[in-house]
Amino acid sequence: MTQNIYDDPAFFDGYSRLQRSVDGLAGAAEWPAIRALMPDMKDLDVVDLGCGFGWFCRWAVGQGAASVLGLDVSEKMLERARAETADARVGYDRADLEKLQLPEATFDLVYSSLAFHYIEGFAGLLATIRQALKPGGRLIFSIEHPIYMAPRQPEWLDDAEGHRIWPLSAYQIEGPRVTNWLAEGVVKQHRTMSTTLNLLIKSGFAIAHVEEWSPSDEELVAHPDWAIERERPMFLLISTRT
């Protein structure tokens, strides 16, 4: 089963205070780049894997989606998502993405934000997603970038000249990474860039766009503290088609 760290009280409390939790999509630095990958949502049937508080679900119906199903393993996340969603076109359900079952040829778009890097059985999940998409359907998702996730000690270092350095290590050693982020013992699953892309290809997806997110010049004017994110990629954004 997927580690349900989001129902840990300490983790949930900390996560709820993050800017992306308070401000929704507008508080997620990578959202403008993901938004640019989205198709016209009008009349689409959509599923959001790891929907969290339901921000994307509500955005999708606001853009004209016919239906949106939000799935998450966290009861706390789903409770808040349901409380903040009034549109009958949006439904929520609890699901473990390691054991996900979806009806065949049902969705035009499968979306996921920062959830797949928790999944050990990624190949099986991709197979489930592939059969759940209609012909011409899309899978669009974000994960933590493998360079961000790989290090044994994922913390900035300072070199002799005072420059910030990301201590990349163990990149080719795939598997669990245990970090203390908001709570102790958060388990993520590191995969190299090539493994991720090749699994998508082998699962029958055509890769349309790959982006190693970095703030734009315009974004740095508004958020000068984001400059450090140009030293290494934090997010990997991928858009595919069937």
Host domain of residue 145: 96-152+159-241
Average pLDDT over residues 115-119: 96
Listed in sequence order, the residues at least 6 apart from 181 whose beta carbon sits closer than 8 Å to its beta carbon are none
Within-domain flag for 137:
yes
> Does residue 184 carry a pLDDT above 90?
no
Whole-angstrom Cα distance, residue 50 to residue 113? Answer: 7
> Does residue 181 carry a pLDDT above 80?
no
- pTM (2 d.p.): 0.93
Whole-angstrom Cα distance, residue 6 to residue 75? Answer: 9
In the chain, how many domains are there? Answer: 1
Within-domain flag for 61:
no
Within-domain flag for 5:
no
Please give the pLDDT value at position 16.
72
Whole-angstrom Cα distance, residue 47 to residue 61? Answer: 11
Whole-angstrom Cα distance, residue 26 to residue 174? Answer: 33
Please give the pLDDT value at position 182.
67
Residue 179 pLDDT class (50, 70, 90 cuts)? confident
- pLDDT tens for 19-46 read 777 788 988 999 999 999 999 999 999 9
Within-domain flag for 89:
no
Within-domain flag for 46:
no
| Residue whose C-alpha is closest to residue 239's, from 34, 82, 28 | 34
CATH code of the domain in which 195 resides:
3.40.50.150
Within-domain flag for 13:
no
> Does residue 216 carry a pLDDT above 80?
yes
Within-domain flag for 47:
no
Within-domain flag for 205:
yes
